[in-house]
Amino acid sequence: MTHKSCPKCEGEMILCYVDQGSKGILVKNADGDKLFGNKKNTRINPNICADCGWVEWYAVEPGNLK
Protein backbone atom coordinates (compact mmCIF):
# COMPACT_ATOMS: atom_id res chain seq x y z
CA MET A 1 0.00 0.00 0.00
CA THR A 2 1.54 3.26 -1.09
CA HIS A 3 1.17 6.20 1.20
CA LYS A 4 -0.94 8.99 -0.23
CA SER A 5 -1.26 12.53 0.94
CA CYS A 6 -4.44 14.57 0.79
CA PRO A 7 -4.81 16.77 -2.33
CA LYS A 8 -6.54 19.40 -0.19
CA CYS A 9 -4.42 19.70 2.94
CA GLU A 10 -1.59 17.17 2.36
CA GLY A 11 -2.68 15.25 5.45
CA GLU A 12 -2.50 11.48 5.73
CA MET A 13 -4.94 9.53 3.52
CA ILE A 14 -6.21 6.27 5.04
CA LEU A 15 -7.75 3.51 2.91
CA CYS A 16 -11.02 2.43 4.56
CA TYR A 17 -13.96 0.22 3.75
CA VAL A 18 -17.67 0.75 4.14
CA ASP A 19 -19.69 -1.08 6.76
CA GLN A 20 -22.16 -2.37 4.18
CA GLY A 21 -21.17 -5.10 1.77
CA SER A 22 -18.02 -7.16 2.13
CA LYS A 23 -14.98 -4.96 1.70
CA GLY A 24 -16.45 -2.33 -0.56
CA ILE A 25 -19.50 -1.11 -2.41
CA LEU A 26 -20.26 -3.02 -5.61
CA VAL A 27 -20.63 -0.76 -8.64
CA LYS A 28 -21.47 -1.80 -12.21
CA ASN A 29 -20.91 -0.42 -15.69
CA ALA A 30 -24.37 -0.17 -17.29
CA ASP A 31 -22.82 -1.34 -20.58
CA GLY A 32 -22.34 -4.77 -18.98
CA ASP A 33 -26.04 -5.32 -18.21
CA LYS A 34 -27.14 -8.70 -19.55
CA LEU A 35 -29.84 -11.24 -18.84
CA PHE A 36 -27.63 -13.36 -16.60
CA GLY A 37 -25.81 -10.72 -14.68
CA ASN A 38 -23.32 -7.95 -15.13
CA LYS A 39 -19.64 -8.95 -15.10
CA LYS A 40 -18.50 -5.38 -15.58
CA ASN A 41 -18.33 -4.59 -11.91
CA THR A 42 -15.86 -3.74 -9.22
CA ARG A 43 -15.88 -2.87 -5.59
CA ILE A 44 -14.89 0.60 -4.49
CA ASN A 45 -13.37 1.72 -1.22
CA PRO A 46 -12.90 5.19 0.21
CA ASN A 47 -9.54 6.75 0.87
CA ILE A 48 -10.10 9.31 3.62
CA CYS A 49 -7.97 12.18 4.86
CA ALA A 50 -7.56 11.84 8.61
CA ASP A 51 -6.99 15.57 8.95
CA CYS A 52 -9.71 17.33 6.91
CA GLY A 53 -12.08 14.49 5.99
CA TRP A 54 -11.58 14.64 2.21
CA VAL A 55 -12.72 11.40 0.57
CA GLU A 56 -11.48 9.77 -2.62
CA TRP A 57 -13.04 6.57 -3.94
CA TYR A 58 -10.85 3.85 -5.39
CA ALA A 59 -12.00 0.89 -7.46
CA VAL A 60 -10.53 -2.46 -6.40
CA GLU A 61 -10.64 -3.91 -9.93
CA PRO A 62 -11.15 -0.98 -12.32
CA GLY A 63 -10.14 -3.12 -15.32
CA ASN A 64 -13.31 -5.18 -14.86
CA LEU A 65 -15.39 -2.23 -16.00
CA LYS A 66 -14.01 -2.33 -19.57
How far apart CA 10 and CA 51 sit, in angstroms, is 9
Choose the stretch contacting Zn ion; rule: CB under 5 A; options: 4-12, 15-23, 29-37, 58-66.
4-12
Q: How many CB atoms lie within 10 A of CB 13?
A: 21
Q: Least distance to Zn ion from the beta carbon of 55, Å?
A: 10
* Per CB under 5 A, 6 contacts Zn ion: yes
- 48 is a site residue for Zn ion (CB under 5 A): no
Is the CA virtual torsion 33, 17, 56, 64 positive or negative? negative
Site residues, Zn ion (CB under 5 A): 6, 8-9, 11, 49, 51-52, 54
